[in-house]
Amino acid sequence: MTETVGLFMASLLALAVFFAQKAKLHMSKLVLANKELKQEIAERRCTEKKLRIKDCVIETSINCIATADLSGSLTYVNGSMLALWGFTDESEVLGRQLSELLAVPGEAAAMTRGLLVNDSFIGEAKGKRKDNSSLDVQCCANLVKDETGTPLCIMVSCIDITERKAMEEAVRYHAYHDFLTGLPNRTLFMEHLNCALAQARRLHAKTGVLFLDLDRFKNVNDSLGHTAGDQLLKEVAERLKLCMRESDTVARIGGDEYTVLLTHISHADDASKIAKKIMAALQRPYIINNHELRVTASIGISTCPEDGETAEALLKHADIAMYHAKEQGRNNYQFYNPVLNIRTVERIVFESSLRKTLERGELIVYYQPQLDTGTRQIICAEALVRWQHPELGLLNPMQFIPLAEEIGIIMPIDEWVLRTACAQNRAWQEEGYPPLCITVNLSAHRFQQPDLAEMVARILRDTCLKPEWLELEITESIAMRDVGNTILNMIRLTGMGIRFSIDDFGTGYSSLSYLKKLPIHKLKIDRTFIRGLTADPDDQAIVNAVIAMAHSLKLEVVAEGVETEDQLAFLHSSGCDGIQGYLFGEPLRAERFAELIPLYQ
């Protein structure tokens, strides 16, 4: 009995242990399940939070974001896209086709179909706002798929690049157009010319090129300033455009140079007709800063295939022909002729020689006397530069000074002439000759330099010449160029004791209101008014008026180009203070001029 009870109790105990272990296992599963549930809830909440953050990021993104179903119908747009496209509520947009708001190059639905094939699109596209205005965007579109690869929708992200595109277009425009006139520049002209030549070859047609240069445009800049010169260039451009057909191209390739491309011309005479039309249009008066200006042009013409079959050859030959037109007296047109190439080579050789004149010592200063009209005594000597060319002989300034200004070597020539003249004047004084004034001409470029006064002071110091024995001569047009800077330079120099005279008075665009402000002491009447003085009443009236005006301003007057006794008698009776001309002496070398000094004392 006892054994039976013990066995029963042991069974009960074992059964209790079994159920206890089973309960413990069940409890562990419950705890684990509870933990997994909490973790799943936490993960779900984290995912929901991420989704809310993602939704917030998408909605507040500065990028324009939209989704569309596979048919291209919009299902979502964020606030940035609504704002940029000009909509106020998404209801105005949802359900509309993506292609209505965003068009990529090609067909309207190309983006949708392309994405179904390629999964993505990246590139520039055109947007269409609510008010139908357009904008440029950088677009990135992707096909969204589920885990099995099945397409779900299309997601598009855009950035507004309208301003950048406008800036790029502006940069591109200025790269191919002249900033001042808006005309095509040399680069664009050559592109048009190359295209025209290719077409002409296919059609066996002729093409013409005109190279146009304004005559004496530099005088406008010198007398009225660069602002007036720029205005003139713009007005010339407008007149040229009116002379052209729609198929032609007119360009400004630099300075006062223009080119014209004539397409589909039948004969060379067609080009000459256009040239005549241009010349007539340009000769009509211009009103610039209350000044009436008249300008002319020299035009060179080349044609394809006669004068070349490349753009470079045609432009070069038209340029050569234009220079020939200049040599023929300006205000005309000339066709290219191969003989002109020889002259071009000669000019290049001449230019090369001119650059070496100073180092070779080929420049010489000649001196011409200015006399007092009453006493017939020499009061001044004008220094005039000459070039002793090794092959062409003695050249006067008009044969090389304009070229020296053009190629940029006029300043060292100016300084050399000034130094040579000052040193010569000092040498005459040391040799015992009576002191006299030396007059030196300055170029416009040298006169406008800010270091002018320092340069003159240095030369006077180096040559030991006192300032009162130096007179600087400038033309009327130089005096009127940048009047503020002109007056400043003249005040600095007159403060040193240097005097000024205005050369060629009556031939420029001077204003008397400015003239009276300039610190000058002498006017030189241009020789063109002296030449017909004894026979032309108009010249007589002009000379008398200039003398009277100058004396009222307490200025001396010197007449240039006096060659006869009759001219001298008229000038003396009119009260002209000084005279200069071949009647008393041509320009002479220093040693011969020294022999002349005692004869007029």
Would you say 583 and 365 are in contact if contact means Cβ atoms under 8 Å apart? no
Q: What confidence category does residue 11 fall into, taking pLDDT thresholds of 50, 70 and 90?
A: low
Q: Is the pLDDT of residue 105 over 70?
A: no
Q: Is the pLDDT of residue 16 over 60?
A: yes
pLDDT in tens, 424-457: 999 999 999 999 999 999 888 888 788 899 999 9
Structure token pair of residue 517: 């402000």
Q: How far apart are CA 534 and CA 3, in angstroms?
A: 174
- Which amino acid would we find at residue 26? H
DSSP 8-state class, residue 177: B
- Minimum mean pLDDT range among 8-22, 274-288, 334-348, 374-388: 8-22
Position 64 scores a pLDDT of: 87
Q: Is the pLDDT of residue 50 over 50?
A: no
Position 431 scores a pLDDT of: 93
pLDDT in tens, 322-369: 988 888 888 999 998 877 665 666 676 778 888 889 889 999 999 999
Q: For 77-87, what is the mean pLDDT?
A: 87
* Secondary structure of 491-511 in HEC code, one letter for each residue: HHHHHCCCEEEEEEECCCCCC
- Minimum mean pLDDT range among 157-161, 232-236, 338-342, 469-473: 338-342
Q: Is the pLDDT of residue 109 over 80?
A: no
DSSP 8-state class, residue 373: T
Position 413 scores a pLDDT of: 94
Q: Is the pLDDT of residue 44 over 70?
A: no
pLDDT in tens, 172-216: 888 889 989 999 999 999 999 999 999 888 888 889 999 999 998
Q: How far apart are CA 70 and CA 268, in angstroms?
A: 64
Mean pLDDT (the chain) is 84
DSSP 8-state class, residue 389: E
How many Å is the Cα radius of gyration of the chain? Answer: 44
The separation between CA 595 and the C-alpha centre of its own chain, rounded to angstroms, equals 53
pLDDT in tens, 112-143: 666 666 777 788 888 888 888 889 888 888 88
The residue among 404, 300, 406, 311 whose CA lies nearest residue 343 is 300
Q: Work out whether strand 333-335 and strand 378-389 pair parallel, antiparallel, or are unpaired.
A: unpaired
- Residue 321 dihedral angles phi and psi, to the nearest 5°: -65, -35
Q: What confidence category does residue 299 fall into, taking pLDDT thresholds of 50, 70 and 90?
A: very high
Helix H segments across 61-139?
A: 79-85, 98-101, 110-118
Q: Which residue has the higher pLDDT, 54 or 89?
A: 89
The residue among 466, 463, 410 whose CA lies nearest residue 435 is 466
Structure token pair of residue 475: 């033309």
Q: Is the pLDDT of residue 252 over 90?
A: yes
pLDDT above 90 coverage of the chain, percent: 36
Q: What confidence category does residue 31 fall into, taking pLDDT thresholds of 50, 70 and 90?
A: low
Position 396 scores a pLDDT of: 87
The separation between CA 201 and the C-alpha centre of its own chain, rounded to angstroms, equals 34
The separation between CA 196 and the C-alpha centre of its own chain, rounded to angstroms, equals 26
pLDDT above 70 coverage of the chain, percent: 83
Position 250 scores a pLDDT of: 95
What counts of helices (H) and strands (E) characterise the chain? 23, 23
**3-class SS at 420?**
helix
Structure token pair of residue 7: 């066995």
Q: Is the pLDDT of residue 54 over 50?
A: no
Position 51 scores a pLDDT of: 43
Q: Is the pLDDT of residue 53 over 50?
A: no
pLDDT in tens, 558-597: 999 999 999 999 999 999 999 999 888 889 999 999 998 8
Q: What confidence category does residue 519 fall into, taking pLDDT thresholds of 50, 70 and 90?
A: confident
